[in-house]
Amino acid sequence: MDVYDLHKLKEAEGKGLTGSDGVCPPLMTAAIPEEGLAVALGSFDGVHVGHAALITRAVEFARSHGLRSAVWTFREDAPTLPGKSGGVITTLHEKLSLIASLGVDFALLEDFSRVRDYSPERFVNELLKEKANVKAAVCGFNFRFGKMGLGDSDTLRELMGDGGCIIVPPVYRDGRLVSSTAIRLFISAGEMDKAADMLGRPFFIDFPVVHGKQLGRTIGIPTINQNFPDGHIIPKSGIYACTVDIGGGNFLWGWDPGPGKAPNFPRCVERRHETDHKERQARDKLRDAHNQLQRLAVWQGYQGVVPQASARRDEVSGHRQPEGADRARHCVDEGIFLG
């Protein structure tokens, strides 16, 4: 188990520092604090509103009891764990960044393969109490742990003792249980508004910009390219209104998660999307964007896709329904879903 200081992660992000990969901010290791931890337990893929309620409870408990707050989670992406599927919503860096924004002090990262055969008793006594100095554990109502998932939230409460476990009730949106599984289904179906409601923000990606074939600029529609990592969830193919943060400015663009939806052009590399520039200022800032992270937030999906037809700009733009873009621009102007 490795311990990372999330305050230092936020500082590195603010300064634009990068780690050994040259892209993501570095993770700074830390020691377990002597005063002890209040720890939120879970995989936290997507860090949705249900996760936020759980993590916030751990932060509040820590502050009111003279402890430090932390999350305990796996290094592995959630869909690679037993019983999980459908593609990851957030990368490890995105997940930790979102968790840090909730005021958490530390992240405890564990390899699933190392603890998969731990009994519930060993997990709590050796891992949480002895190694991590956990004084209070916070979990969801459906939390399971230990070999073959033999331990549940009631088991955790019994093993942690009086006052050592807080079980957070489920969170619902429009009568639906908020879960990472439900969010993956919405994203896969292109229902970005429903996904955003459960996430508490629009679905976003935060990948490095890579060089493309530079064909879009020849028809007046220059693009940037970002590759989806293996195992990352990809929205249903179509056209989406989105905002992109470039150089501190937000720009409203059209987006096609592809792969390769530019009309009459060869198919792009799998898991690549292209973002349609609508702002001259953004084009200038993108000249130096390659190999840098660019956050793209997806607001609204349009029906249908751009046909593989003529490469004339007027024919391409004719398929971008204005009401979707107008709604997305309204969301940006009003601050809806912005975190």
Q: Would you list the domain boundaries of the chain?
A: 2-176, 201-334
User: Domain spanning 2-176 has what CATH number?
Assistant: 3.40.50.620
Q: Residue 23: name the closest of 116, 103, 94, 117 by CA.
A: 94
Q: Choose between 325 and 141: higher pLDDT.
A: 141
Q: What is the mean pLDDT of the chain?
A: 75
Residue 106 has pLDDT above 90, yes or no: yes
Q: 286: number of CA atoms within 13 Å, CB side?
A: 27
Q: Cβ–Cβ contacts within 10 Å for residue 321, how many?
A: 16
The percentage of residues in the chain with a pLDDT greater than 70, rounded to a whole number, is 63
Q: What is the pLDDT of residues 63-100, one digit of tens each?
A: 999 999 999 998 865 545 555 567 889 988 889 999 99
Residue 224 has pLDDT above 70, yes or no: no
pLDDT of residue 278: 42
Q: Choose between 188 and 59: higher pLDDT.
A: 59
pLDDT-derived band at 223 (thresholds 50, 70, 90) equals: low
Residue 273 has pLDDT above 80, yes or no: no
Residue 334 has pLDDT above 80, yes or no: no
The whole-model pTM stands at: 0.77
The stretch 298-325 carries a mean pLDDT of 42
Between CA 165 and CA 161 the distance in angstroms is 7
Decide the pairing of beta strands 151-152 and 144-145: antiparallel
- Beta carbons of 89 and 70 less than 8 angstroms apart: no
The percentage of residues in the chain with a pLDDT greater than 90, rounded to a whole number, is 40
- Beta carbons of 6 and 99 less than 8 angstroms apart: yes
Residue 244 has pLDDT above 90, yes or no: no
pLDDT-derived band at 215 (thresholds 50, 70, 90) equals: low
pLDDT-derived band at 154 (thresholds 50, 70, 90) equals: very high
Residue 112 has pLDDT above 50, yes or no: yes
Residue 257 has pLDDT above 80, yes or no: no
Residue 25 has pLDDT above 70, yes or no: yes
pLDDT of residue 239: 74
Check for a shared fold between 2-176 and 201-334: no
Residue 287 has pLDDT above 90, yes or no: no
Q: Cβ–Cβ contacts within 10 Å for residue 107, how many?
A: 23
Q: Choose between 48 and 14: higher pLDDT.
A: 48
| Cis peptide leading into residue 33 (ω within 30°) | no
Question: Which residues touch 45 (CB under 8 Å, ≥6 apart)?
Answer: 77, 78, 79, 84, 88, 89, 90, 95, 180
Lowest-confidence range among 171-180, 183-192, 281-290?
281-290
Q: What is the pLDDT of residues 193-209, one digit of tens each?
A: 999 999 999 998 877 77
Phi-psi map region of 103: left, alpha, beta (phi>0 left; psi -120 to 50 alpha): left
pLDDT of residue 155: 94
CATH assignment of 201-334, among 3.40.50.300, 3.90.1150.10, 3.20.20.70, 2.40.30.30: 2.40.30.30
pLDDT of residue 247: 58
Q: What is the pLDDT of residues 123-153, one digit of tens each?
A: 999 999 999 999 999 999 999 998 888 899 9
Residue 249 has pLDDT above 70, yes or no: no
Which residue carries 């590399």 as its tokens? 269
